[in-house]
Every structure is written in C-alpha cells, then in structure tokens.
Amino acid sequence: MTTFTSNLANEIAPVLRGLTFDGQKGLFVHQTSDKQPSLLLPAVREGDSVEEACALWKRLLSAYTDERQLYPAVIGIDGLSVQYGLGTNYDEAARAEGVSALPTLAPSESRSDVVRDKIALVTGGAQGFGEGMVRSLVEMGAFVYIADMNAEGAKKLADELNYEACITVAKPLAVNVTDETSVAQMMDEVARQTGSMDLFISNAGVLRAGSVKSMQLKDFQFVTNVDYTGFFICTKFASRQMALQNLPSLSYYTDIIAISSKSGLQGSNKNGAYAGAKFGTIGLTQSFALELVEDNIKVNAICPGNFLDGPLWSDPEKGLFVQYLNAGKVPGAKTVADVRRFYESKVPMNRGCRTADVMKAILYIVEQTYETGQAVPVTGGQVMLN
C-alpha cells in the first residue's frame, strides 16, 4: 500500500495526471483559461492511502464527466490546484461550452508520433547531443524540459524554441545531477508545472581521458559522479513520480533512458574513467529495469558511437580532434581532417553517430512496451553484440 507523505502537493500532481490518463486514455497538456471547468476533490492527508484516494477520485471524476460530458481542466484539492488541458473525447462539448479545446489527435502515422503530446525531460539538454535531442523531440510534438547546469544556455534554447513555435514547447530547469537536493527540486518543479512526465532522458555526462598510471583521483571521481552516480540520483527521483502516475490505471507506461556509450560495451584505451562509468550505467539500467517494471517504468540505455560533429570532438580549440592531433595520438596525422578520417575509418558505415540515429533508438524504446533493461547500440557497426 502506497501512502502520501508530507510532500503532498508534488505527490498529488503525478497521481492526478495518471488519473486523467486512466479516465480518457490520452495525455493532457497544460492550458490556462478562466472559462475552464473545475472539479473539487476531497483532500488527503499524510499517511492516507494513494490507492484509496485514486478509487474515490475515479468515481467522482466519472460522475462529473457523465453529467457534463466535459473533462475538468482544473482539478482542485482543498487549495491545491493542478491544471490540465481538455480531453480529446470532449472536444465538441467543450466548443459548445465556449472553451478552447485541444485538437483531436490523428491516428499514428509515423514512429515519431509516439512522443507527440508527451512530456519529456533531457538532462544536459542545453548543448551538444542533448540539445539535438531536445530540438528533435520538440519537432516531433513533445513538450520538453531542458535540464542543465548551464541555466543560461537552457533558457536561451527554450526561448528560441518557444519563439519559433509561437507557444510554450520547452522550459528550462537548472540542475546539478550529482546533487540530490538539486535533482529533487527539479522534479518538484516538474510536478508543479505538468503533474509529471512520460520520458526522462539521462544524458548529462562528462569525459576526462587519461592513463590509469597518471590520472588524478579527482578527475576519475568527477567522471564517475556525473556519468554514473548522476544516473542513479536522477532515476531515484524520477521513478518516484512515474510510479505515482501509474497507480490510478496500472497501465501507464513511462520511460527512463540512459545515454550510455559504445564505451559502455567495450573498453576504451586511456579512457577508463569514462568507460567504467558507462559500463556501470548499463548495470544500473538492468537492475532498475527489474525493480521498476512493476510500476510500468521501462528503463533502457542507448550506446551511441562517437558524435564526431559535436563540440566534444569538433570544437576548433578544445575538441578531441585537435587534442589528438597535438598529442600525436594518430600516427601520421598532419591535420584535423586526418584525425577525423582515422576515426571515421573505424566505423563500418564510415561516419560518426548523429542525433537522428539516436532519436530512432529513443522512438523504438518508447514505442516498444515489451522490452526493458536493454543496452541498444547505435554505433554504425563499430560495436556488434554477441
């Protein structure tokens, strides 16, 4: 039996979002209007059963919608208020009431529709690979939280995407994934803004290469804290919300996806801290998947190959191409182009990994409801699983 704790407001929000899913078999988006109908539900107290509250709320919600044929956009609980858009099944009634309704969703026509109108969060989303995923998800119709230590960069990206869309399609969140308080505050803000979410992408990561003979412990721990421990902390707080969201229907599938690496599938020369953290992330993925399956939370990892077009590799001053050229790591290389060709030649498909390649794996994971605990390689054939 699950009970509410002292963090009532932020626990009620995901439960109510799950309740709307159960009632309408559809997702809901925030939409504020004075004309929107409201429904007041009984308050709950710390220690009350979530399951019993759900059963009572279901009955009241059903009676309300049967009578009015209109889904309440604002649900209040003794001063606590959670706002949702109108259910697509009630569009005509909503128009008759003079309320602006959400458009009816067309049948799925492409794989990208599996994230349309869903709520996603991407850590490390302000730049590089993360920015590419944020942009792609928005283009596919998702609402996206851009979570990053670089708060200014996250806000700049969100402002750009919202300006281009002429509506709010993204919101920035400042977070340090290595700090439990910071991650907890991030998830509390998600609960306040949208009730919860459907897709959490743990992408924040760092890389410090170096020989095991000379690498400083602080550098090793820095990589481990962000790439490995950060995934644990994020999953800890994200899964709590997602589990509450599932309780009303017991059929609300959500996804946590770790962006690992091909270095999580095979060792990496003089890059042991990074490879070790990524290997460890896959171990966590499999373990969390076994535990969270009871909450309909799928946990998977994606293992991309080298993102050669991203700033980690291609930055003209600090990128790995420049570093490897200066360090003489690639025998005979005289230019950055020589170094790039060397690394491209290691890939059977003769190019680096791109955002679009990873997005296809993300869409597959979300669409596939009969798989969890997997590490999906996206390496152009550079790493092949047994």
Please count the other Cβ atoms lying within 10 Å of the Cβ belonging to residue 218: 8
Q: Are 203 and 124 in contact (CB under 8 A)?
A: yes
CA distances to 14, 76, 185, 194 from 46, rounded to whole Å, are 16, 17, 20, 22
The amino acid occupying position 204 is: A
Say which of 90, 274, 324, 343 is annotated catalytic.
274
CA 284 from centre of chain: 17
- What is the Cβ-side half-sphere exposure of residue 237, based on CA atoms within 13 angstroms? 25
Of 200, 151, 127, 156, residue with least CA distance to 355:
127
Cβ neighbours of residue 248 closer than 8 Å, sequence gap 6 or more: 15, 18, 19, 21, 22, 54, 57, 58
If phi over 0 gives left and psi between -120 and 50 gives alpha, with beta otherwise, what is residue 54?
A: alpha
- What is the Cβ-side half-sphere exposure of residue 32, based on CA atoms within 13 angstroms? 6
Of 231, 228, 30, residue with least CA distance to 123:
231
Q: Which two tokens stand for residue 257?
A: 């996806």
Rounded CA separation 177/200 (Å): 13
| Active site (annotated) includes residue 163 | no
Q: Are 4 and 46 in contact (CB under 8 A)?
A: yes
DSSP code, position 103: P
- What is the Cβ-side half-sphere exposure of residue 368, based on CA atoms within 13 angstroms? 16
Enumerate the active-site residues: 274
